[in-house]
């Protein structure tokens, strides 16, 4: 019988399977779990249901997790950590499910089959929520579980035309060696794209015992992508545009700075495509809804339809003519790195929710190529050499 050389992984809070797509065909999913019916249906429709466990993670038992995974991936809910949320942290009802995930990792550890790697993705607010106590608690759990760990703040704009900074914590079992070229000996003197000020501050704020388990992962700086927002959009004739009245409504919601930005584009005579979204701002002590637009070739950070920025829109300017419309579910998916052959939920709101609540596929692919696989290949070659 041929030896299966692929890597095995568990995907918790799997959503529509974006981490699975990012890991690619060399990786074998041994277990996936989520509670959302629409996301589960999309996952099963694209990958089958053989490895899919529907339901609350609190009901999952360690015996349901087969073998010894190379990676356990967890994109746990961010609502209690996000700047757009209540900031109740890991004690919150939704983000607190991290501890249900960790319950399973601890049980696997007791059975002698803890995952070699753990990948955690969440909003960057995890670094500062509860005054940094939540991030410290996360690191304490990893350390006590026998892992070294490090954090990277990666913006999807390095790979996709969307501004989407997210925190990625990668932990490696302490019994597994790290290749020299994958770790820095000390904190970088200058800020790298991924070792941001927030990551530096969080690392420096850790108690001394935890600092000894901290790893400054050394990843290459990716090239700036050539794709622009307009490259992922549907042809203009295929989509429904707002009425002139609806477009004027957006314009009236603009602040002076955004109005001037639009006027400048009009005067230039250039044809421009921008991302438009609504924000609640505090002006003179009162909350005011504002429409804000960017013409830098990027969409703003996609969120679920009920999130802080709600749904995003497109604004096109050609001379004096201004048009607006909603971004479609398929456009949301492309901005997250989902291929067009990916089967989205039929309901538009469910499609928007799946993408806005997911992890950027291309970022997972980057971590796979430059961190996960090099670490695992080094571990395998070291073990063979020892034998």
- Tens-digit pLDDT profile for residues 209-224: 999 999 999 999 998 8
Query: HSE-up of 335 (CA within 13 Å, CB side)?
Result: 33
3-state SS of 199-226? HHHHHHCCCHHHHCCECEECCCCCCCCC
Q: What's phi and psi for 62, nearest 5 deg?
A: -60, -25
pLDDT level of residue 89 (50, 70, 90 thresholds) = very low
Average pLDDT over residues 8-16: 96
Which of 7-21, 190-204, 305-319 reaches the highest mean pLDDT? 7-21
pLDDT of residue 10: 98
- Model-wide pTM > 0.85: yes
Q: How far apart are CA 368 and CA 374, in angstroms?
A: 8
Q: Judge whether 162 and 298 are in contact, CB under 8 Å.
A: yes
* pLDDT score of 265 more than 50: yes
pLDDT of residue 77: 72
* pLDDT score of 83 more than 60: no
* pLDDT score of 376 more than 80: yes
Average pLDDT over residues 8-17: 96
Average pLDDT, the chain: 90
Average pLDDT over residues 281-307: 87
Using alpha carbons, list the distances in angstroms from residue 276 to 60, 171, 267, 288, 334.
41, 37, 19, 16, 17
Cα–Cα nearest to 26, from 8, 44, 14: 8
pLDDT digits (tens, 9 = 90+) for 37-63: 999 999 999 999 999 999 999 999 999
Task: Kindly give the pairing relationship between strand 27-34 and strand 7-12.
Answer: parallel
Cα–Cα nearest to 95, from 61, 135, 52: 135
Which has more confidence, 1 or 345?
345
Q: In the chain, what percentage of residues exceed pLDDT 70?
A: 91
Q: Sketch the domain layout of the chain as residue ranges.
A: 7-226+361-386, 235-327
Q: Which helix (H) or strand (E) holds 268?
A: helix 256-268
Average pLDDT over residues 168-196: 92
pLDDT of residue 76: 82
Average pLDDT over residues 272-288: 90
pLDDT digits (tens, 9 = 90+) for 104-162: 999 999 999 999 999 999 999 999 988 898 899 999 999 999 999 999 999 999 999 99
Q: Which CATH superfamily is domain 7-226+361-386 in?
A: Vaccinia Virus protein VP39 (3.40.50.150)
pLDDT of residue 309: 52
pLDDT of residue 111: 97
Using alpha carbons, list the distances in angstroms from residue 99 to 133, 142, 274, 276.
15, 11, 40, 37
Which has more confidence, 313 or 385?
313
* pLDDT score of 80 more than 50: no
């Amino acid at each position: 019988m041929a030896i299966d050389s692929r890597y095995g992984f568990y995907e918790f809070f799997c959503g529509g399977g974006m981490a699975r797509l990012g890991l690619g065909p060399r990786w074998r999913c041994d277990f996936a779990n989520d509670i959302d019916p629409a996301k589960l249906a999309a996952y099963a429709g694209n990958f089958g249901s053989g490895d899919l466990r529907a339901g609350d993670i609190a009901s999952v038992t360690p015996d349901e997790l087969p073998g010894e995974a190379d990676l356990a991936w967890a994109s746990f809910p961010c609502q209690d950590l996000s700047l757009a949320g209540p900031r109740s942290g890991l004690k919150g009802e939704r983000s607190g499910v991290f501890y249900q995930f960790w319950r399973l990792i601890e049980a696997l550890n007791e059975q002698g089959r803890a995952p070699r790697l753990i990948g955690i993705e969440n909003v960057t607010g995890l670094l500062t929520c509860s005054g940094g106590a939540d991030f410290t608690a996360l690191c304490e759990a990893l350390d006590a579980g026998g892992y070294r760990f490090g954090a990277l703040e990666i913006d999807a704009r390095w790979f996709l035309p969307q501004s989407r900074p997210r925190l990625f914590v990668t932990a490696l079992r302490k019994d597994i060696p790290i290749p020299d070229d994958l770790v820095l000996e000390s904190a970088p003197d200058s800020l790298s794209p991924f070792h941001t000020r927030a990551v530096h501050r969080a690392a420096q704020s850790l108690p001394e015992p935890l600092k000894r388990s901290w790893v400054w992962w050394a990843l290459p700086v990716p090239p700036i992508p050539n794709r622009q927002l307009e490259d992922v959009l549907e042809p203009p004739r295929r989509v429904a545009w707002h009425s002139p009245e609806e477009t004027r409504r957006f314009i009236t919601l603009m602040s002076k700075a955004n109005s001037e930005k639009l006027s400048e584009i009009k005067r230039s005579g250039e044809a421009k495509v921008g991302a438009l979204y609504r924000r609640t701002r505090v002006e003179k002590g009162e909350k005011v809804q504002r429409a804000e637009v960017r013409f830098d070739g990027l969409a703003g950070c996609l969120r679920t339809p009920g999130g802080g920025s709600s749904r995003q829109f497109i604004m096109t300017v050609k001379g004096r003519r201004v048009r607006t419309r909603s971004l479609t579910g398929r456009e949301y998916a492309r901005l997250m790195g989902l291929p067009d052959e990916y089967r989205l939920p039929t309901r538009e709101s469910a499609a928007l929710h799946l993408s806005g609540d997911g992890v950027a596929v291309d970022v997972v692919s980057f971590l796979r190529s430059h961190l996960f696989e090099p670490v695992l290949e080094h571990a395998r070659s070291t073990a063979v050499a020892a034998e």
